A = this chain, B = another copy of it.
């Protein structure tokens, strides 16, 4: 989309080769504004440290965060390296560190970024301390807390183990705080359960910070995460920062949780009809699981959207029409089971848009975003990266 002078021409969707990952800029902006407004209301002084594991794009980061000053969260050291090189200065790598990755952490810190790491393990804390002592580096470490049993972290009830990790941080390895992630909120049945997950997340992290303070430690950062809880939480007392990522895009899983409306979803996959099997009620398109991912996150929700909800080229959902199944480069579109509607007629060559179950996994299948203006014209290509 970019011409030689660096400015962009606007291109209609009909000229875009499919499948392609579309990003609706107005929705991205509205979603970003919504979280900001919510946090301004419930906790005006809290630090928002957006998680960039979904975006993985410098252009999106700079657009949404209005520059490179804001603190960020990442899910891989590659993200840390790329965002640090681009000038981001306060980065939390929110996956448990292992000793074999410390040299890369040190290299990012030496470039001038304040990269923080996490662990839930006293042995690892000792290894970080040995590394810090040997390299004469300062390495800030957050202790990972498990607030809902879904993944890593120490439970607040394991107070001795939490203190043991803090105690094992010596020399340049400094206790920077505690963090948790209410990933269990993705499995909530409704917004009440999400709100309960949010309260539980706050309670667990505040309790963990208190355990460490009672043991004599300073705990400057008290950090929670997850988009559902970030948008639901009413009382953030004792929390210093919040990490959300999917909030800027949203997806069908979030809509199924009641966290957003379907029309808020900023990402979709543009596809072209390549064939039909009329006797089966199938429309076949050129977006298969390679374009959508294998994510079936709505399968366990009240409404199973298959591999995604089908929209017209303007992004308007077509009632009850879903991608029922997917091969590598073929998507099979059909009416939702039990629908009273009839299959619309889309001749070969028609374009459709598919809303994703899970923004993180669908975006990861693509090398760039085709960025849309409010008239559904592509005004920019924003690159995204993968890898570790």
Evaluate contact between A361 and B294: CB separation under 8 angstroms. yes
Q: How far does the alpha carbon of A17 sit from the alpha carbon of B273 in the complex, in Å?
A: 41
Q: CA–CA, A277 to B96, complex, Å?
A: 13
Q: Return the CB mask of A346-370 against B: 1 if under 8 Å, else 0.
A: 0111000000000011001111000
A263 on the B face (CB < 8 A): no
Does A18 sit at the interface, judged by CB under 8 A? yes
CB distance from A106 to the nearest CB of B (A): 14
Tell me how far the C-beta of A22 lies from the nearest C-beta in chain B, rounded to whole angstroms: 14
Q: Are A100 and B275 in contact (CB under 8 A)?
A: no
Minimal beta-carbon separation of A209 from chain B (angstroms): 20
Q: Which residues of B contact A98 (CB under 8 A)?
A: 272-274, 286, 348-349
- Distance in angstroms between the alpha carbons of A99 and B286 in the assembled complex: 13
The reply to whether A272 and B121 form a contact with Cβ atoms under 8 Å apart is: no
Is the pair A367, B386 in contact by a Cβ cutoff of 8 Å?
yes
- Determine the distance from Cα of A164 to Cα of B17 in the docked complex, in whole angstroms: 28
Q: Is the CB of A101 closer than 8 A to any CB of chain B?
A: yes
Docked CA distance A289–B364 (Å): 11
A18:B151 contact, CB within 8 angstroms: no
Alpha-carbon gap, A295 to B289, bound state (A): 9
Complex Cα distance, B17 from A77, in Å, reads 10
The distance in angstroms between the C-alpha atoms of A364 and B284, with both chains bound, is 22
* Contacting residue for A95 out of B99, B151, B286, B293, CB 8 A: B286
Interface of A is mostly: loop
**How many residues of chain A get a CB closer than 8 Å to chain B's CBs?**
63
Contact at B364–A365, with CB atoms within 8 Å?
A: yes
Cα(A117)–Cα(B53), bound, Å: 37
A183 to chain B, nearest CB (A): 6
Is A76 among interface residues, defined by CB-CB distance under 8 A? yes
A84-96 interface code vs B (CB 8 A; 1 in, 0 out): 0000000000011
Tell whether A100 pairs with B349 under 8 Å between CB atoms, given A121-B275, A152-B274, A386-B365. yes
Complex contacts, A104 vs chain B, CB 8 Å: 17
CB–CB B275/A96 < 8 A = yes
Task: Name the segment of A188-196, A214-222, A324-332 touching the other chain.
Answer: A324-332
Q: Name the distance in Å between A388's Cβ and chain B's nearest Cβ.
A: 6
**What mask results when residues 295 to 326 of chain A are scored 1 for a CB within 8 Å of chain B, else 0?**
11000000000000000000000000000000
**A327 touching B183 in the complex, CB below 8 Å, given contacts A121-B348, A348-B123:** yes
What chain B residues lie within 8 Å of A349 (beta carbons)?
98-100, 124, 127
A23 to chain B minimum Cβ distance, whole angstroms, is: 16
Q: In the complex, which residues of chain B have a beta carbon less than 8 angstroms from the beta carbon of A77?
A: 17
Pairwise interchain contact B284-A151, C-beta atoms closer than 8 A? yes
Is there contact, CB below 8 Å, between B151 and A388?
Answer: no
> Can you identify 22 A-B contacts, CB atoms within 8 angstroms?
A14-B100, A20-B388, A53-B328, A53-B329, A95-B329, A96-B284, A96-B286, A98-B349, A119-B275, A120-B275, A121-B348, A123-B348, A124-B349, A146-B277, A151-B284, A152-B284, A152-B330, A183-B327, A289-B361, A293-B293, A328-B360, A328-B361
Given contacts A17-B104, A291-B388, A328-B360, 14 further A-B contacts (CB under 8 A): A19-B388, A96-B284, A96-B286, A97-B274, A98-B273, A98-B348, A100-B349, A124-B348, A146-B277, A151-B284, A151-B332, A152-B277, A183-B327, A367-B386
